[in-house]
Amino acid sequence: MSEVAVPEMMMPPPAMPAAFQVEKPVPGPGMGDFSYVGIDAILEQMRRKAMKQGFELNIMVVGQSGLGKSTLMNTLFKSKVSRKSVQATSQEKIPKTIDIKSVSHDIEEKGVRMKLTVIDTPGFGDQINNENCWQPIMKFINAQYEQYLQEEININRKKRIPDSRVHCCIYFIPPTGHCLRPLDVEFMRRLSKVVNIVPVIAKADTLTLEERDFFKQKIREELRANGIDVYPQKEFDEDAEDRMINDKIREMIPFAVVGSDQEYQVNGRRLLGRKTKWGTIEVENIAHCEFAYLRDLLIRTHMENIKDITSSIHYEVYRVRRLNENNTAIPCPPCPMIPHFPLKPL
Amino acid sequence: MTTSDIAQGDKNARPLSLSGHVGFDSLPHQLVNKSTCQGFCFNILCIGETGIGKSTLMDTLFNTNFENFESSHFEPKVKLRAQTYDLQESNVRLKLTIVNTVGFGDQMNKQESYQHVVDYIDTQFESYLQEELKIKRSLHNYHDSRIHACLYFIAPSGHSLKSLDLVTMKKLDSKVNIIPVIAKADTISKSELHKFKIKIMSELVSNGVQIYQFPTDDETVSKINTAMNGILPFAVVGSSEEVKIGNKMVKARQYPWGVVQVENENHCDFVKLREMLICVNMEDLREQTHTRHYELYRRCKLEEMGFTDTNPESKPVSLQETYEAKRHEFLGDLQRREEEMRQMFVQRVKEKETELKEAERELQGKFEQLKRLHSEEKSKLDEKRRSLEDEINTFSKKKAATELLQGQSFNTNANLKKDKDRKKSPEMEAKDVNLTCDEATNQNHNCCFRNL
């Protein structure tokens, strides 16, 4: 057991969760090493608390119809989480305006409960005139921030404010193989300021590996040229270790994904894939597509980080803006006793 | 399973079963990792009389020497001394703040003793509230100084609680998690201890003091917590000295009649305290502080300032209206005060003006007077000068004449002198009347005249 030291010491970098920590037994009375205080038992306590409370995750999928958004969601969470599976309607009419539809599910894995909300945006990019198609989406995202803000400034607040803020927005890029379209650039430019955007190349099984690499490079260049900061954002890297990991990810985005919720027999194993006459594309095989990277990024390694950035950066930016818009009307000397409460939305 | 198609943000989530391993069971691990990076923060307040063993217990609890110094018994008021330490164990960093009361229970009049403690706790809540209400805030980097646990040290009299104890605990129970401990428990025997504990708990209950109850809702810890709830208050012994028992060095206190081992469960409840405070419930203490005590403080503070969620007809009042009303009030107040100040200023200016005018007039009068005096004097002096000049003139004339005469008298002989003298002397005598100076010449002449 290491000694307890009084002066500050450098924190060893956090390990990547290749293997999870072994659950420590709750120390009973009488079990004491003489130099052991037990401060690290707080990790166990936090874990217990987190398991009891459960987690919340809100993902928004944006892209034109037919790009495989629902299928990808189903593949990511290995169950029928998309709106289509929930809706009773079988017809697929393209709506006249953009709808925002969200569906919530309670899922559980190994004792960890999560409330997953998938927010779908049918009608995006499908009209003839697509100017301002990001507006309803912006409005929705800001409305969630507003709701959280109003809850937070209540006098009697709930013990745990329900978090409906959009944590992550997956943007589907059609696999043209050339470059980003003006619609893509415009949308991502506006929304990368309010929400974490993860761009993916949809239906990547239409691109060969060389085309894919070329396409990705073009996309990265265009993103850089337009000043679009997608997740993981460079400015939010916390330390050198973080930067190293995130740099590797940044070299791979956008992930070229293929979604599927059907299983096929490949080499004696049942795998998720797409069966065609010229072969079977295995979804979870990284030689075939980058679905596994996306899943690891979103769920296994960076989920907490995504939520963190949403709550501590994007939400705070919104809050500052909101609180300032009220105060510029009447110049009032800064008085520490009067808090700055925002107006109700107009 | 009815499907519920949802428009924006309704919470009718349907349970779903996964058909494969997704991987979000690593979420708690990610959360823990993030917290480990950030480090933890824990603040303990120790209240107890001087010399009851607070610092020693802290040293023993955290297994370090916190560099304390003994306080005197002659403090005029109760003070609080806070010290922050950075501890690390395996890969967990803890920022520990220990707040000790100095001079508690030492004064002759102990009526105000608890007030300083209450004020300190409120100040910490206030600074957190201010940070939370700021526009540009950084809650993640904020050093949380709110007190998470309060160890109240009860003196081992063996009888009952002192009235100071009861009063203080009653004031603090809604602001902080109180964990009462019996200090210096090696002065009480086992049977006395048992009776003492029962007496203390019954007194606390009958006075309505709500001490911290270890949480019993989580199955993993509910059994141990319930057991511990029955052993409160913990009878502790602290020691930073080590004694050799068998072949190990243990923390203990050595007496001629035996050795009290701190970490021996049969001797005292120290190990239980450490278990409960640190190993099992630290996170819960922090959570209770944040969700219960801090929220209560916040609610009271904001209501005091006039903000409500619902107005008298119990319709939700938008904060905008309250805020606007307050703002109007405040601005009106400001304007009024500005007006007042302006009036006062104008008045003062007027007064000053009249004063100055008075002074000016006075000065003017004086000036005139002085001028007059000056011109009078000047004219007098002029006159004098003129008369003086006249006299000088006549004198110089006389002088010239006398000299002339003298010259003439020397040139001629005595007779002539006599004659001329005789002639001249009446003239001279006549002139003598007017001559004021030059007696010498006259005398000369008279002498000459006599000599003759």
The 10s digit of each residue's pLDDT in B173-197 is: 889 999 999 988 888 888 888 889 9
| Residue pointed to by tokens 């963190």 | A308
Asked if the Cβ–Cβ distance from B280 to A26 is below 8 Å, we say yes
- What was the pLDDT predicted at A332? 31
What residues in A contact B88, CB-CB < 8 Å? 2, 4-5, 9
Q: Is residue B218 domain-resident?
A: yes
Look at residue B382 and give its three-state secondary structure. helix
**A66 or B342, which is more confident:** B342
Best probe of the B interface among A21, A23, A35, A45, by most B CBs < 10 A, is A45
Check CB contact of A267 with chain B, cutoff 8 Å: no
- What was the pLDDT predicted at A129? 79
> Given A29, A115, A299, which is nearest B23 (Cβ)?
A299
Asked if the Cβ–Cβ distance from B24 to A312 is below 8 Å, we say no
Residue B441 has pLDDT above 80, yes or no: no
Q: Which residue of B has its CA nearest to A159?
A: B291
* Whether residue B147 sits in one domain with residue B86: yes
* Whether residue B327 sits in one domain with residue B291: no
Check CB contact of A25 with chain B, cutoff 8 Å: no
Q: Is residue B437 domain-resident?
A: no
Contact residues, A window 205-264, toward B, CB-based 8 Å cutoff: 238
Mean pLDDT rounded to a whole number for chain B = 81
What residues in B contact A36, CB-CB < 8 Å? 89
* Whether residue B135 sits in one domain with residue B240: yes
- What was the pLDDT predicted at A260? 83
Contact residues, A window 170-209, toward B, CB-based 8 Å cutoff: none
Asked if the Cβ–Cβ distance from A20 to B34 is below 8 Å, we say no
Check CB contact of A285 with chain B, cutoff 8 Å: no
Q: Which band of pLDDT confidence, cut at 50, 70 and 90, is reported for residue A197?
A: very high
CA dihedral B157, B159, B163, B168 (to 10 degrees): 70
Q: Is residue B429 domain-resident?
A: no
List Cβ neighbours of A221 (8 Å cut-off, separation of 6 or more). none
* Whether residue B293 sits in one domain with residue B379: no
- What was the pLDDT predicted at B318? 54
Residue B352 has pLDDT above 90, yes or no: yes
Q: Is residue B373 domain-resident?
A: yes
- Mean pLDDT along residues B390-397: 94
Mean pLDDT lowest among A182-191, B21-30, B437-446:
B437-446
Residues A161 and A148: beta-carbon distance below 8 Å: yes
- What was the pLDDT predicted at A207? 87
- Mean pLDDT along residues B72-89: 81
Which of B201, B267, B139, B173 is closest to A316 using CA atoms? B139
What's the number of domains chain B is made of? 2
Q: Which band of pLDDT confidence, cut at 50, 70 and 90, is reported for residue B122?
A: very high
Q: What is the largest CA-CA distance in chain A?
A: 74
What residues in B contact A14, CB-CB < 8 Å? 33, 36-37
> Given A34, A46, A86, which is nearest B32 (Cβ)?
A46
Residues A205 and A273: beta-carbon distance below 8 Å: no
**B428 or B346, which is more confident:** B346
Best probe of the B interface among A1, A20, A263, A304, by most B CBs < 10 A, is A304
Mean pLDDT lowest among A94-108, A225-239, B205-219, B407-421:
B407-421
* Whether residue B154 sits in one domain with residue B105: yes
What residues in B contact A147, CB-CB < 8 Å? 9
* Whether residue B96 sits in one domain with residue B68: yes
Looking at CA atoms only, how far is residue A225 from chain B in angstroms? 30
Asked if the Cβ–Cβ distance from A115 to B13 is below 8 Å, we say yes
Mean pLDDT lowest among A20-24, A82-86, A323-327, B153-157:
A20-24
What residues in B contact A100, CB-CB < 8 Å? 8
Asked if the Cβ–Cβ distance from B3 to A88 is below 8 Å, we say yes
- What was the pLDDT predicted at B323? 65
What residues in A contact B4, CB-CB < 8 Å? 86
Check CB contact of A29 with chain B, cutoff 8 Å: yes
- Mean pLDDT along residues A214-228: 90
CA B218 to the chain's CA centroid = 45
Q: Which band of pLDDT confidence, cut at 50, 70 and 90, is reported for residue B383?
A: very high
Residue B85 has pLDDT above 50, yes or no: yes
List Cβ neighbours of A319 (8 Å cut-off, separation of 6 or more). A145, A149, B135
Q: Which band of pLDDT confidence, cut at 50, 70 and 90, is reported for residue A288?
A: confident
Q: Is residue B28 domain-resident?
A: no
> Given B64, B221, B275, which is nearest A29 (Cβ)?
B275
Other C-beta atoms lying within 10 Å of the C-beta of residue B180: 23
Q: Which residue of A has its CA nearest to B224?
A: A28
Residue B137 has pLDDT above 60, yes or no: yes
Residue A296 has pLDDT above 70, yes or no: yes
Q: Which residue of A has its CA nearest to B60?
A: A37
Residues A120 and A172: beta-carbon distance below 8 Å: no
B138: CATH:
3.40.50.300
- The fraction of chain B above a pLDDT of 70, given in percent, is 83
Asked if the Cβ–Cβ distance from A344 to B320 is below 8 Å, we say yes
Token representation of residue B115: 């007030």
* Whether residue B162 sits in one domain with residue B69: yes
* Whether residue B254 sits in one domain with residue B189: yes
Q: Between the ranges A305-319, B191-205, B282-296, B340-354, where is the mean pLDDT highest? A: B340-354
What residues in A contact B220, CB-CB < 8 Å? 26, 48
Q: Which residue of A has its CA nearest to B16?
A: A107
Q: Which band of pLDDT confidence, cut at 50, 70 and 90, is reported for residue A123?
A: confident
What residues in B contact A337, CB-CB < 8 Å? 305
Q: Which band of pLDDT confidence, cut at 50, 70 and 90, is reported for residue B314?
A: very low
| Domain end position, chosen among B249, B274, B305 | B305
Mean pLDDT lowest among A74-83, A162-171, A322-331:
A322-331
Residues B263 and B60: beta-carbon distance below 8 Å: no
* Whether residue B120 sits in one domain with residue B155: yes
- Mean pLDDT along residues A36-48: 81
CA dist., res. A23 & res. A216, Å (int):
41
Check CB contact of A24 with chain B, cutoff 8 Å: no
- What was the pLDDT predicted at B239? 85
Q: Between the ranges A127-131, B150-154, B273-277, where is the mean pLDDT highest? A: B150-154
- Mean pLDDT along residues A239-260: 86
Asked if the Cβ–Cβ distance from B263 to A32 is below 8 Å, we say yes
> Given B18, B26, B265, which is nearest A30 (Cβ)?
B265
* Whether residue B61 sits in one domain with residue B195: yes
Contact residues, B window 222-261, toward A, CB-based 8 Å cutoff: 224, 248-251
Asked if the Cβ–Cβ distance from B8 to A83 is below 8 Å, we say no
Check CB contact of A18 with chain B, cutoff 8 Å: no
What residues in A contact B243, CB-CB < 8 Å? none
Asked if the Cβ–Cβ distance from B28 to A156 is below 8 Å, we say no
| Domain end position, chosen among B283, B305, B327 | B305
- What was the pLDDT predicted at B12? 55
Looking at CA atoms only, how far is residue A3 from chain B in angstroms? 6
Residue B86 has pLDDT above 70, yes or no: yes
Residue A7 has pLDDT above 80, yes or no: no
- What was the pLDDT predicted at B191? 87
Contact residues, B window 303-342, toward A, CB-based 8 Å cutoff: 303, 305, 307-309, 318-320, 322-323, 326-327, 330-331
Q: Give me the domain span that covers residue B384.
A: 319-390
Q: Which band of pLDDT confidence, cut at 50, 70 and 90, is reported for residue A77?
A: confident
Residue B13 has pLDDT above 70, yes or no: no
> Given A50, A80, A117, which is nearest B28 (Cβ)?
A50
Q: Which band of pLDDT confidence, cut at 50, 70 and 90, is reported for residue A152?
A: confident
- What was the pLDDT predicted at B369? 94
- Mean pLDDT along residues A279-299: 86
Q: Is residue B208 domain-resident?
A: yes
Regarding an ipTM greater than 0.85, the answer is no
Residue A15 has pLDDT above 60, yes or no: no
Check CB contact of B284 with chain A, cutoff 8 Å: yes
What residues in B contact A343, CB-CB < 8 Å? 318, 320
Contact residues, A window 104-133, toward B, CB-based 8 Å cutoff: 104-112, 114-115, 117
CA dist., res. B47 & res. B80, Å (int):
9
Q: Which band of pLDDT confidence, cut at 50, 70 and 90, is reported for residue B443?
A: low
- What was the pLDDT predicted at A30? 36
Residues A230 and A191: beta-carbon distance below 8 Å: no
* Whether residue B280 sits in one domain with residue B358: no
pLDDT per residue over B231-263, tens digit each?
Answer: 888 988 888 888 888 888 888 888 898 888 888
What residues in A contact B287, CB-CB < 8 Å? 49
The correct answer on CATH 3.40.50.300 for the domain covering A52-80+95-258+287-325 is yes
Give ∠ CA B199-B204-B207 in degrees, rounded to 5: 120
- What was the pLDDT predicted at B188? 86
Mean pLDDT rounded to a whole number for chain A = 77
- The fraction of chain A above a pLDDT of 70, given in percent, is 79
Looking at CA atoms only, how far is residue B83 from chain A in angstroms? 12
Residue B179 forms beta bridges with which residues?
A: B151
- What was the pLDDT predicted at B378? 95
Looking at CA atoms only, how far is residue A218 from chain B in angstroms? 31
Residue A266 forms beta bridges with which residues?
A: A269
pLDDT per residue over A307-330, tens digit each?
Answer: 989 988 899 999 888 887 765 433
Contact residues, B window 21-40, toward A, CB-based 8 Å cutoff: 21-37, 39-40
* Whether residue B144 sits in one domain with residue B203: yes
CA count, 13 A, side-chain hemisphere, B15: 4
CA dist., res. B327 & res. B306, Å (int):
12
Q: Is residue B242 domain-resident?
A: yes
Decide: pTM greater than 0.80.
Answer: no
Looking at CA atoms only, how far is residue B189 from chain A in angstroms? 21
Residues B10 and A100: beta-carbon distance below 8 Å: no
Tell me, what amino acid is at B50? T
